[in-house]
Amino acid sequence: ASRRDFIRITSLSAAGLIFGGQYVHSAVKALRQEGIGGSSDPLRTPTYCEVCFWQCAGWVHKNEEGKIKKITGNDDDPNCNGRLCPRGTGGVGMYYDEDRLKTPLIRVTGKDGKQTFKEVSWDEAFDFIAEKLQKIKKEHGPECTALFTHGSGGHYWGDLLKAFGSGNIAAPSYSQCRGPREVAFIATFGDGLNSPEPLDIRDTRCLVLIGSHLGENMHNGQVQEMSDAIDNGASIITVDPRYSTAASKSKFWLPIKPATDIALLLSWIREIINNEWYDKKYVEQYTYGFEELKNYVQPFTPEWAYGITTIKPDQIRETAREMANAAPSVIIHPGRHVTWYGDDTQRLRAVAILNALLGSWGRRGGFYIPDKMGLPAYPHPPFPKPSRTWREAMGGKYKLADLALASGVCDATIPSPELDCNIKGWIVNGTNLIMTLPDQKKTIDAINNLDLLVVVDTMPMEITGYADVVLPECTYLERWDDLRVAQGRNPSIALRMPATEPKYNSKPAYWMAKEVSKRLGLEEYFGWDTFEEKLDWQLKQVGSSLEEMKRLGVKNLPREYGNLFFEEGEDVDFYTNTGKIELYSTAFEAEGFDPFPVYTPHTEPPAGYYHLNYGRAPMHTFSRTANNPNLTDLMDENTVWVNPKVAKEWGIKNGEPVYLQNQDGVVSDFQVKVRVTERIRFDSVYIVHGFGHADKKLSRAYGKGVSDSQLITRVLMDPVMGGTGMRGNFVTFRFEKESEVKS
Ligand code: MGD
Ligand code: SF4
């Protein structure tokens, strides 16, 4: 057994709870006396949401006793237009969750050999971390440390790590999410998409969703714009093996056979070229490689694609025509979580090419050109150059990646001494790697190779059980953080300030990172005395101030970066090798990858097994909300969607609990109730990601539903940039945990 077998967190005192409550009350009184009430309303302070990464700006409202009672949207915020999604409103539950981490913890081994955590002071925790980091630096080099991060705290830990001499910073939002699409769009248009994506959905006439389930995936601004577009008569084309909420709002639903989207895209490209439905002037003026593309796609007839995708040739033609009629006000949506089958960068290249042919990039109702505003960093000395990075360690793999470390861990390559990157220390901030990275066993193997694992979290999530040190962060409602900068149609900045004092003995990550920096002799990288001083300095550089932002919450700034759309015939220089939109990718070719997207068949499920498809629910974000008291009220477990034909074959009734087992014999820890529905194809099942928590400290989430992550053991690596394709698993049903599979 591993030394990091699930560890129990012991003896958290109830006193903390009582103390927390009293503290809040007096603290708010104090804040009000000091006039730090934010806006002109002393019971209202500005924030931006941390429940997902759309970062909507809002107001936290307190009652007379200083208790947080609700959060509402900020009317001036372009990300939310004054309206939060259910999760944003439910963010209050993160603050009130009584299962929160309450004080720093260090792992100890008792005389009986059993491991547990002891409560320690902040000083003890920081001294321990600094000592271990110095030891790693001495024995292996500073570059043998890494940061895994998602969310605001990453800025501060990132600065600490860079100052320490390591460039290994990874986020699941890259290799497990949108990395392939960024690489594909950069290769094609010379620009990535970032977040929020620069999609002019509100003015579009045709929106094509390929596996994007807007509405269930609640990216606030986009969902609002999609609903406006529908009201204005736009047509929606949804390509999804499942009848998603978006599909139900669509003019066309194409229930594609899983893993065949590239074939459909190639066939659409051929239809648009061969029928001369592409934007001739635009293609001629702006693109590179059109004739080669035309020759390349000739074999990909709708009949060819039908045999692969099960989408009828007429439907392929009709939908291609629908897009062309709307062009250039058409968006083939690039998606967000796009790491599916390992050829994802190529699929997204096909999406980019289709958009380019229809002339939607830089056009109204297509893609707008976002502003490029950034805030100056608070002055600090230059970071040292790391002597080695993950790039060398990867031995030439994933050449077009900007950030591939997390894939390396899934590959179990990062900790491998053979790869000359013997990583020994991780700081994990705001990411529950056990539920987030596919192939849990490899992640745990990697953890077992470490000398130090520090976890910074608000909740006792699965990853905390593997930590050497757990640092409890206060929630976003109790802290300052860096300003949110949204580039959007017009740039905007948003302030997050504490609505109340931190509950328990929790603290903000910026404070933790600064405290560790002091112990490592790196404090000059955190040169501000208070965080307010840093924010005020930054705000003054852009003509605002902390005082103003406390009143406004959000400030919209004038656009500095040219027009939103290309002028007719405007001369445009794209940031690609050729200065053109590259239909033929010279960057891919130079690195030995196919310059045009190639359809490759993927493995089919064996008899009795079904593609494991997963996605989002509008009231949850990944695994972070599964214990939230407000949101579990709305949905407290996932179900497995099963086609009626399949249910009949297995004799499974609606609502019946089953275990799921994947093709590698991994059986889900818990049971999940079956939802029999025509809304899913017969070759797939569907579950919402983020459930099936196995940590008992999560009193509401424990044992509720199944975890897709646990069942994802076949990781399909994207050779271009290291994205971890997560749709390579098939599952079957089990009725008892230990019995044989019923067939
Ligand atoms: P969560 O599981 O929500 O998502 O991956 P993660 O960001 O790891 O874990 C978030 C962690 O942050 C939780 O432990 C939570 O308690 C903690 N947290 C929340 N707020 C704070 C805070 O203010 N401070 C600190 N320090 N911690 C906080 C998301 C990633 O997952 C992404 S972006 C995608 S798109 C992928 N989706 C996905 C999937 O759909 N299925 C499967 N199987 N895996 C997936 N992995 C990827
Ligand atoms: Fe918060 Fe919802 Fe906005 Fe995400 S979309 S930031 S959860 S309000």
> Per-residue pLDDT tens for 389-399?
777 777 778 88
Q: Is the domain of 272 the same as that of 412? A: no
Q: How many angstroms is it from 171 CA to the middle of ligand 1?
A: 10
> What gap in Å lies between CA 66 and CA 539, rounded to an integer?
28
SS3 of 310-357: CCCHHHHHHHHHHHHHHCCCEEECCCCCCCCCCCHHHHHHHHHHHHHH
Q: Is the domain of 435 the same as that of 535? A: no
Please check the confidence at residue 25 and state whether its pLDDT lies above 50.
no
- For the beta sheet containing 169-170, the strands, ordered from the edge strand earlier in sequence to the opposite edge, are 8-9, 115-119, 105-109, 469-472, 452-457, 425-429, 145-149, 169-170
Q: Is the domain of 643 the same as that of 722? A: yes
> What gap in Å lies between CA 457 and CA 623, rounded to an integer?
13
- For the beta sheet containing 57-62, the strands, ordered from the edge strand earlier in sequence to the opposite edge, are 44-48, 57-62, 68-73
On whether residue 605 sits in a domain, the answer given is no
> What gap in Å lies between CA 612 and CA 602, rounded to an integer?
14
**In terms of residues, how long is the chain?**
743
Look at residue 10 in the predicted model and tell me its pLDDT.
Answer: 44
Look at residue 445 in the predicted model and tell me its pLDDT.
Answer: 86
Confidence of residue 449 (pLDDT cuts 50, 70, 90): confident
On whether residue 724 sits in a domain, the answer given is yes
On whether residue 574 sits in a domain, the answer given is no
Q: Is the domain of 280 the same as that of 300? A: yes
Confidence of residue 383 (pLDDT cuts 50, 70, 90): very high
Please check the confidence at residue 414 and state whether its pLDDT lies above 70.
no
Number of domains in the chain: 4
On whether residue 107 sits in a domain, the answer given is yes
> What gap in Å lies between CA 75 and CA 58, rounded to an integer?
8
Q: In the chain, helix, strand, coil percent, each to 5?
A: 35, 15, 50
Look at residue 422 in the predicted model and tell me its pLDDT.
Answer: 78
Q: Which of 232, 248, 228 is nearest to 240 (CA)?
A: 248
Name which residue sits closest to atom 14 of ligand 1, judged by CA: 432
On whether residue 225 sits in a domain, the answer given is yes
Q: How many angstroms is it from 466 CA to the middle of ligand 1?
A: 16
Chain mean position to CA 466: 22
Q: How many angstroms is it from 661 CA to the middle of ligand 1?
A: 24
> Which of 54, 77, 226, 624 for mutating ligand 2's site (highest number of atoms within 8 Å of CB)?
54
> Which of 47, 50, 51 for mutating ligand 2's site (highest number of atoms within 8 Å of CB)?
51
pLDDT tens digits, 705-725: 999 999 999 999 999 998 999
Ligand 2, atom nearest to 52 Cα: 4
Output phi, psi for 448, to 5 deg. Answer: -65, -15
Q: Is the domain of 74 the same as that of 46? A: yes
Look at residue 419 in the predicted model and tell me its pLDDT.
Answer: 65
Confidence of residue 739 (pLDDT cuts 50, 70, 90): low
Q: What is the CATH number of the domain that holds 428?
A: 3.40.50.740
Chain mean position to CA 590: 29
Mean pLDDT confidence for 197-203: 97
Look at residue 412 in the predicted model and tell me its pLDDT.
Answer: 57
Least confident range from 72-76, 132-136, 410-414: namely 410-414
On whether residue 375 sits in a domain, the answer given is no
Cross-strand pairs, 672: 658
Q: Where are the beta strands (DSSP E) in 408-472?
A: 425-429, 452-457, 469-472
- CB contact set of 306 (below 8 Å; sequence gap of 6+): 312, 313, 316
Q: What is the CATH number of the domain that holds 18?
A: 2.20.25.90
Look at residue 9 in the predicted model and tell me its pLDDT.
Answer: 47
On whether residue 721 sits in a domain, the answer given is yes
Look at residue 37 in the predicted model and tell me its pLDDT.
Answer: 42
> What gap in Å lies between CA 500 and CA 68, rounded to an integer?
8
- In short, whether 431's Cβ falls inside 6 Å of ligand 1 is yes
Q: Is the domain of 304 the same as that of 395? A: no
Q: Is the domain of 650 the same as that of 725? A: yes
The amino acid sitting at 617 is: A
Look at residue 75 in the predicted model and tell me its pLDDT.
Answer: 98
Q: How many angstroms is it from 115 CA to the middle of ligand 1?
A: 26
Look at residue 114 in the predicted model and tell me its pLDDT.
Answer: 82
Rounded to 10°, the helix 313-326/261-274 angle is: 60
Please check the confidence at residue 569 and state whether its pLDDT lies above 90.
yes
Query: What is the average pLDDT value for the chain, to the nearest integer?
Result: 92
Please check the confidence at residue 178 and state whether its pLDDT lies above 50.
yes
Mean pLDDT confidence for 474-482: 98
Q: Is the domain of 131 the same as that of 198? A: no
Q: How many angstroms is it from 173 CA to the middle of ligand 1?
A: 9
Q: Is the domain of 215 the same as that of 290? A: yes
Q: How many angstroms is it from 52 CA to the middle of ligand 1?
A: 9
Q: Which secondary-structure segment (H or E) carries 554?
A: strand 554-556
Mean pLDDT confidence for 364-388: 94
Check if the beta carbon of residue 268 is closer than 8 Å to that of residue 241: no
Q: Is the domain of 347 the same as that of 201? A: yes
Please check the confidence at residue 21 and state whether its pLDDT lies above 60.
no
β-strand 169-170 against 554-556: which pairing, if any? Answer: unpaired
On whether residue 376 sits in a domain, the answer given is no
Q: What is the CATH number of the domain that holds 649?
A: 2.40.40.20
Q: Is the domain of 136 the same as that of 260? A: no
> What gap in Å lies between CA 457 and CA 153, rounded to an integer?
10
Task: Give the end of a domain, one of 309, 343, 370.
Answer: 370
Q: Is the domain of 522 the same as that of 633? A: no
Domain that holds residue 205: 194-370
- In short, whether 50's Cβ falls inside 6 Å of ligand 1 is yes
Burial class of residue 653 in the structure, from the number of CB atoms within 10 Å of its CB (0-12 exposed, 13-18 middle, 19+ buried): exposed
Name which residue sits closest to atom 31 of ligand 1, judged by CA: 436
Write down the H helix ranges in 165-312: 172-173, 179-189, 220-231, 245-248, 261-274, 280-286, 290-297, 302-309
- In short, whether 689's Cβ falls inside 6 Å of ligand 1 is yes
Output phi, psi for 454, to 5 deg. Answer: -105, 130
Mean pLDDT confidence for 157-175: 93
